[in-house]
Amino acid sequence: MKRSDFVLVLLVLALGMSLAACDTSKLFGNNSTPSLVYNVTAVTVSPKTATIQNGATQQLTATVAPSNATYQTVTWTSSVPGTATVSATGLVTGVSAGATTVTVTTQDGLKTDTCVITVTP
């Protein structure tokens, strides 16, 4: 065995022993194996449009796909809060006459969908 081969074998052994001695709980929590993460592929809001009166409410629903996605949390925003506000649960409240777009965004920020809300006096 050449000296360079011997050194390489020693390095591989040392690396293996180092990895075996690692505290994997910092990487994987208390499990010795990593958890699988199921990525969100889409989010859909329902209904796609709604007309409500000033002071009235409309519940919007977000559906995250796939249904077993690891992170199901979404956030809601209104493009014109002076026309309609939206709560953390997707409840839209008409504030004044006009139109606004309500956007639902997945926790990772990568998937969105919208609903157009028209508020009448």
Domain ranges of the chain: 1-35, 42-120
pLDDT in tens, 23-39: 555 555 565 666 899 99
Residue 23's Cβ-count burial label (10 Å; 0-12, 13-18, 19+) is exposed
- Report the DSSP beta bridge partners of residue 23: none
Q: CB 63: neighbour CB atoms within 10 A?
A: 14
Spelled out in words, what is the top-level CATH class assigned to the domain 42-120?
mainly beta
pLDDT in tens, 48-91: 999 999 999 999 999 999 999 999 999 999 999 999 999 999 99
**Per-residue b or e along 74-95, where b marks 16 or more CB atoms closer than 10 Å to that residue's CB:** bebebebeebbbbeeebebbbb
How far apart, in whole angstroms, are the C-alpha atoms of residue 59 and residue 61? Answer: 7
